[in-house]
């Protein structure tokens, strides 16, 4: 069997240098390019592959972070759908993976089994040392789902109002809406319409923040609601409901000159309703979305508030790894609440206000 010592000898470097190159992590960056290439070439020529289990025993860690993605109830068949939509989890996963990839860790997606939710499985696997830590999307903990830990663990929740002394990573939704409003005000808009799901929805806080900010700024605001469909999340259903709601609203005399949408899918529906009514975006009506999941490919390209999910996932992974490798960090991060600032991405769907034309 080829050993690391054999590779180091063939490459003309020390065993420590060969280890830094062949064991993924930031240490590899300390080795010069020419020496690193010699090590990799020697490893490939000799057929050397590191022993994962031996390294895990040596460093005392699995070098694997889990991401809970338990869509559906315990005992159900696995599902790829969730009321938040696949794009939400795709962007969050991208953020977590960007950090695990950078430091040479593995990322494990933890779904439900017949007996346990993904979150519960992830916690158990930390206790079993199969995982070093776990990132939990906060949406998995809504609807009365509690999260109790046997002791402080390297676990971070993303986007949640608060849960005991477990560390959180959130984004400043109010600041994002403030930036959207400031942009519209700078373009001369004073009459605004909110288009989104009815406030019975668990994510209605966004509308409440928006209406409060409109009032505080001395602007005029109104709301137009649609009912989100029960069961499976379907983008086309959400867009169609938003189209129908806004079309009905446009049947009355119009005063608003800009539409603030609950999310980018809602903005897709708004585009369709405005187009059917003979109104042009942005010359007649400005439209702003929220998410930035695919708004860059809408026509016109959508001005939107970024949900910064990639950044939140990345920061959560950084915190989990810090807690996994340091008892001091594990203690210091209890009750830590980090707040990221979203960006307003200005594109082509907003323009200077033009007063509504009389019909």
CB atoms within 10 A of CB 153: 20
Residue 28, number of CB atoms within 10 A of its CB: 16
User: Could you report the per-residue pLDDT of 178-234, keeping only the tens digit for each?
Assistant: 999 999 999 999 999 999 998 665 667 899 999 999 999 999 999 999 987 765 567
Please give the span between the terminal C-alpha atoms of the chain, in angstroms, as a whole number: 84
> pLDDT, tens digit, for every residue of 10-25?
899 998 888 888 776 5
Residue 224 sits in the same domain as residue 292: yes
Residue in the block written with tokens 């490893």: 43
Task: Supply the range of the domain harboring residue 331.
Answer: 64-166+310-340
Reply yes or no on whether the pLDDT at 88 is more than 70: yes
Average pLDDT value for residue range 112-118: 84
Contacts of residue 240, defined as CB under 8 A and 6 or more positions apart, other chains included, come to 269
User: Which CATH number goes with the domain that contains 210?
Assistant: 3.40.50.2300
Tens of pLDDT, residue by residue over 141-188, are: 865 556 778 888 999 999 988 777 899 999 999 999 999 999 999 999
Query: In which band, very low, low, confident or very high, does the pLDDT at 268 lie, cut at 50, 70 and 90?
Result: very high
Q: Which is more confidently placed, 164 or 126? A: 126
Q: Check: CB of residue 132 under 8 Å from CB of residue 63.
A: yes
Nearest to 225 by CA among 173, 279, 262, 257: 262
> For residue 245, which of 269, 264, 267 has the smallest C-alpha distance?
269
The answer to whether residue 59 is domain-embedded is no
Closest of 95, 3, 57 to residue 314, by C-alpha: 95
Q: Is residue 235 part of a domain?
A: yes
- Torsion angle (degrees, nearest 10) of CA 157, 134, 314, 180: -20
d(CA 157, CA 167): 6
Which residues, including other chains, have CB under 8 Å from residue 339's CB and lie 6 or more apart?
170, 171, 172
Q: Are residues 334 and 288 in the same domain?
A: no
Q: Total domain count for the chain? A: 3
Kindly state the DSSP code that residue 124 receives in the 8-state scheme.
Answer: H
**Residues 6 or more apart whose Cβ sits within 8 Å of residue 312:** 92, 95, 158, 159, 169, 170, 171, 340
Is the same domain home to 89 and 197?
A: no
| Exposed / middle / buried, residue 110 (Cβ in 10 Å: 0-12, 13-18, 19+) | buried
pLDDT-derived band of residue 112, with 50, 70 and 90 as boundaries?
Answer: confident
Q: pLDDT band at residue 80, thresholds of 50, 70 and 90?
A: very low
């Amino acid at each position: 069997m080829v050993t690391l010592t054999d590779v180091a000898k063939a490459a003309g470097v020390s065993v420590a240098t060969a280890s830094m190159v062949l064991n993924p992590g930031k240490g590899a960056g300390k080795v010069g390019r020419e020496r690193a290439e010699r090590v990799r070439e020697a490893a490939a020529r000799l057929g050397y592959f590191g022993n994962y289990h031996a390294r895990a025993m040596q460093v005392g860690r699995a070098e694997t972070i889990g991401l809970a993605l338990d869509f559906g109830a315990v005992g159900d068949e696995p599902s790829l759908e969730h009321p938040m939509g696949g794009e939400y989890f795709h962007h969050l996963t991208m953020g977590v993976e960007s950090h695990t990839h950078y430091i040479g860790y593995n990322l494990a997606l933890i779904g439900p089994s017949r007996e346990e939710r993904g979150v519960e499985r992830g916690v158990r696997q930390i206790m079993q040392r199969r995982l070093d830590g776990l990132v939990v999307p906060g949406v998995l903990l809504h609807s009365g789902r509690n999260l109790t830990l046997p002791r402080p663990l390297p676990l971070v929740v993303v986007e949640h109002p608060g849960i005991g002394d477990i560390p959180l990573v959130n984004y400043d939704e109010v600041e994002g809406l403030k930036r959207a409003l400031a942009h519209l005000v700078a373009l001369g808009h004073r009459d605004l319409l909110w288009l989104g799901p009815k406030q019975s929805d668990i994510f209605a806080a966004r509308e409440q923040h928006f209406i409060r900010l409109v009032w505080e700024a001395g602007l005029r605001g109104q709301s137009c609601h649609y009912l989100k469909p029960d069961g499976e999340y379907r983008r086309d259903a959400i867009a169609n409901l938003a189209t129908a709601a806004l079309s009905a609203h446009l049947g009355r005399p119009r005063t608003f000159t800009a539409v603030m949408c609950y999310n980018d899918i809602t903005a897709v529906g708004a585009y369709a309703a405005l187009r059917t009514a003979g109104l042009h975006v942005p010359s007649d009506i400005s439209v702003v979305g929220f998410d930035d999941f695919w708004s860059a490919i809408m026509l016109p390209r959508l001005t939107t508030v970024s949900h910064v999910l990639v950044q939140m996932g990345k920061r959560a992974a950084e915190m989990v790894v810090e807690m996994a490798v340091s008892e001091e960090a594990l203690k210091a991060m209890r009750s830590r609440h980090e707040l990221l600032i979203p960006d307003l991405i200005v594109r082509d769907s907003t323009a200077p206000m033009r007063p509504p034309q009389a019909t």
